[in-house]
Structure 1
Amino acid sequence: MNRKDGGVLQGRVVAVTGASKGIGLGVVQKLTAEGATVIGGARDVSGVVCEGATFLPLDVTDAASVDAFAEQARRAGVDALVNNAGVGVFKPVQDITEADYRRVMDTNVLGTLLMTRALLPHFQALGRGQVVNVTSDVSARTFATGALYTASKYAQRAVTQALASEGHAYGLRVTEIRPGMVDTFFGDTQQGEEYKAEWLKPDDVAGAVLYALSAPAHVRIDEVLLHPVVQDVAF
């Protein structure tokens, strides 16, 4: 995808986690196409290329890895963070293991906390900044076998809303993106499988992220909830 000079994000520098594939890579491509410089992080970034983006190794569950990534982002002049890294485990409550719990909660919740914490002092010094958390439509509902995953998304929603309240004093704008079913590699499935043909695409979610980041400085987009039309209506 060619980078668009003079796009709506020209001059912006955005850090994106979980950036190697799926929604994260879609976000990187969308933002660079609109002129942003992107620092993308993921556990494995080998072979990932996008004009206007630099990809760095990042394990959001490891504080040292987060700090190293954040330092590079600060040096690049980062003014926005997209917390996108996430995993899911779907089991009945009685089958959830400690390992399941730590994998999901450490990535989805601790990862959001560590990455955000690492950049907040920088945003405070700037007197502005944006944090966009890609969660899920299940950050406010649940379903059978979804206890662990939805608990992590409820927690991310709480973190998002608390951060919005805390950051208001120094000009931080915070947005939660809540997509429904998305055609990605999530849950050990393959992107592009036939049964996902009418689901949201990574580019759809990336468009919501772009909407939040490109809002005028006097506008804060608190949340964006989006679904494919084939998904049952559920709020």
Structure 2
Amino acid sequence: MNLDGARVLVAGATGVLGGALTAELRGKGARPVLAGRDPARLAAAARAHEDAPTVTFDAYDPASCARAVHDSATALGGLDAVVTAFGTVAFGPAAETGDEIAEHLAAVNLLAPTAFFRAAFTVLGPGSAVAALTGVVARRPQAGMADYSASKAALSAWLDAARREVRAGGIRVLEIRPGHLDTGFADRPVAGTAPPMPPGGEPRRVVAAVADALESDAELVLTDQDGTPVVERRTR
């Protein structure tokens, strides 16, 4: 995909990682649509990106996620990529995580992104892409984060299956699976308290790798043990 002129919906554009990704894509000439929950934060973000179009969504309302895709396609006359860069986390023993928290994690981390992508598959054409942030826990679940790990692992499995379905139609599915990043995400859990963690990786290195992956039609971005982003053309 040539990002110069590409029409890209970034869901979660008001967050640290989503904001960094929007800036990276904009720097390569992409035309972003910014999606988020808070209209005031969206307006501020749009001003930083030459008054880019904005759409709102509520991750607890899958219909609003699908609507954001269709509204974005209308605003730009089509879409070339849809990226989800939002989520939520909770900490604590599995036995002590309430059903309400588990349901919340599944809704935000699994059902909302897949609602975006189901809608995206109806408007995207050959040469386009969808991309989702999962994280290292999708393949290496962590103690004290069972339900969070499960929600990300489920999204990763969904992406694997959907990739096989849409590849023949020329739509690429990119999974972004970094390690711990310095975004403050762990400091905003819906439940529990984050355990001591090593210093996080630099988000800007990851978003640069994501842009490279979109341009090369790759299927996976992860980080090496030293935090170096790695782009893989095909998932293993």
Considering the TM-score relative to the shorter chain, is it more than 0.5? yes
Q: State the percentage of identical aligned residues.
A: 29
2:201 aligns to what? 200
Given that 1:60 and 1:107 are in contact with CA atoms closer than 8 Å, whether structure 2 keeps it comes out as yes
Correspondence 1:42 to 2:43: no
Aligned residue among 209, 221, 226 for 2:223: 226
> TM-score scaled by structure 1?
0.84
Task: Call closer, same or farther: CA 1:223–1:186 in 2, change over 3 Å.
Answer: same
Deviations 1:11-45 (A, max 9, x none): 10011111102111111111011100111111114
> TM-score scaled by structure 2?
0.83
Correspondence 1:108 to 2:109: yes
- Return 5+ residue gaps in structure 2 as ranges: 190-195, 229-236
Task: Call closer, same or farther: CA 1:63–1:198 in 2, change over 3 Å.
Answer: closer
Per-residue deviation at 1:229?
Answer: 2.2
Correspondence 1:212 to 2:213: yes
The code of the aligned residue for 1:56 comes to: V
Alignment partners' CA distance in 2, 1:203 and 1:45: 25
2:121 aligns to what? 120
The code of the aligned residue for 2:98 comes to: T
- After alignment, is 102-111 or 205-214 more displaced? 205-214
2:192 aligns to what? none
Task: Call closer, same or farther: CA 1:20–1:45 in 2, change over 3 Å.
Answer: farther
2:72 aligns to what? 73
Alignment partners' CA distance in 2, 1:90 and 1:223: 26
Given that 1:40 and 1:55 are in contact with CA atoms closer than 8 Å, whether structure 2 keeps it comes out as yes
Given that 1:177 and 1:208 are in contact with CA atoms closer than 8 Å, whether structure 2 keeps it comes out as no
Alignment partners' CA distance in 1, 2:89 and 2:18: 15
Deviations 1:132-191 (A, max 9, x none): 11110111111210111110111111011111100012111111111111111313359x
Alignment partners' CA distance in 2, 1:206 and 1:146: 25
Q: What is the number of residues matched between the two proteins?
A: 214
2:155 aligns to what? 156
Alignment partners' CA distance in 2, 1:227 and 1:20: 27
Alpha-carbon RMSD:
2.2
1:89 aligns to what? 90
Superposition misfits of 4+ residues, deviation over 3 angstroms: 195-198
Correspondence 1:57 to 2:90: no
Alignment partners' CA distance in 2, 1:33 and 1:198: 27
Given that 1:135 and 1:177 are in contact with CA atoms closer than 8 Å, whether structure 2 keeps it comes out as yes
1:3 aligns to what? none
Secondary structure in 2 matching 1:184: coil
Secondary structure in 2 matching 1:131: strand
Alignment partners' CA distance in 1, 2:11 and 2:224: 22
Given that 1:181 and 1:199 are in contact with CA atoms closer than 8 Å, whether structure 2 keeps it comes out as yes
The code of the aligned residue for 2:180 comes to: M
Given that 1:131 and 1:172 are in contact with CA atoms closer than 8 Å, whether structure 2 keeps it comes out as yes
- After alignment, is 165-174 or 54-63 more displaced? 54-63
Task: Call closer, same or farther: CA 1:196–1:151 in 2, change over 3 Å.
Answer: closer
Per-residue deviation at 1:83?
Answer: 1.6
Q: How does 1:109-188 map to 2 (within 5 A)?
A: 109-123=110-124, 126-188=125-187
